[in-house]
Structure 1
Amino acid sequence: MAHRIDHEYDYLFKIVLIGDSGVGKSNLLSRFTRNEFCLESKSTIGVEFATRTLQLEGKTIKAQIWDTAGQERYRAITSAYYRGAVGALLVYDITKKQTFDNIQRWLRELRDHADSNIVIMLAGNKTDLTHLRAVQLDDARSLAEMEVLSFLETSALEATNVDKAFETILTEIYRVVSKKALAAQEIARSSVTVPPIQGTTINVADSPAGKTNWTCCSN
Structure 2
Amino acid sequence: MHGGPQLSPVSPWLTVVLIGESGVGKTNLLSRFTRNEFSQDSRTTIGVEFSTRTVMLGTAAIKAQIWDTAGLERYRAITSAYYRGAAGALLVFDVTKHQTYAAAERWLKELYDHAEATIAVMLVGNKSDLQQAREVPTEEARMFAENNGLLFLETSALDSTNVELAFQTVLKEIFTKVSKQRQSSSRTNAITLGGAQAGQEPGPGEKRACCISL
- State the TM-score, normalized to the length of structure 2: 0.85
Shift of 1:8: 8.5
- Cα–Cα, structure 1 residues 77 and 30, in superposed 2: closer, same or farther, change >3 Å? farther
1:110 alignment partner, SS class: helix
CA contact (8 A) 1:71 1:77 kept: no
Residues 150 and 161 (structure 1), Cα distance of their counterparts in 2 relative to 1, 3 Å cut? same
Tell me the CA shift for residue 178 of structure 1.
0.3
The answer to whether the Cα contact below 8 Å between 2:21 and 2:71 also exists between their aligned partners in 1 is: no
For the residues of structure 1 that align with 2:49 and 2:75, how far apart are their CA atoms? 16
Q: How does 1:1-219 map to 2 (within 5 A)?
A: 10=6, 11-68=12-69, 70=70, 72-74=72-74, 76-78=76-78, 79-193=80-194, 194=196, 195-197=201-203
Distance (Å, rounded) in 2 between the aligned partners of 1:148 and 1:21:
24
How far did 1:128 drift? 1.1
Q: Kindly provide the amino acid, as one letter, of the partner of residue 55 in structure 2.
A: L
Q: Which amino acid is the alignment partner of residue 65 of structure 1?
A: I
Deviation of the 1:75 alpha carbon: 5.0
Deviation, 1:181, is 0.2
Q: Which residue does the alignment assign to 1:205?
A: none
Report the secondary structure of 1:98's partner residue: helix
Deviation at 1:47, TM superposition (A): 1.4
Q: 1:26 to 1:72 in 2, by over 3 A?
A: same
Comparing 9-18 with 35-44, greater Cα deviation is found at 9-18
Counterparts of 2:142 and 2:84, CA distance in 1: 28
Identity of aligned residues (%): 52
Query: Which secondary structure does the structure 1 equivalent of 2:176 belong to?
Result: helix
SS at match of 2:143: helix
| Alpha-carbon distance between aligned partners in 2 of 1:83 and 1:197, rounded to the nearest angstrom | 42
Give the AA of the match of 2:103: N
Aligned mates of 1:92, 1:104 — CA distance in 2: 11
Q: In the alignment, what sits opposite 2:210?
A: none
Superposed CA deviations along residues 27-72 of structure 1, whole A, max 9, x for unmatched, are: 000000000000000113231000010110211101100011x353
Deviation at 1:81, TM superposition (A): 1.4
Compared with structure 1, are the counterparts of its residues 144 and 71 closer, same or farther at alpha carbon in structure 2 (3 Å cutoff)? closer
Q: Distance in 2 between matches of 1:128 and 1:58?
A: 33
Structure 2 unaligned segments of length 5 or more: list them: 7-11, 206-214
- C-alpha distance after superposition, 1:69-97 (max 9, x if no partner): x3534252434211210000000000000
SS in 2 for 1:52: strand
State the Cα RMSD in Å.
1.8
Give the counterpart letter for 2:203 in structure 1.
I
Deviations 1:105-143 (A, max 9, x none): 000000000000000000000011111000001100110
Letter paired with 1:124: G
Name the CA shift for 1:7/1:48 in 2 (closer, same or farther; >3 Å): farther
Question: SS state of the match for residue 38, structure 1?
Answer: coil
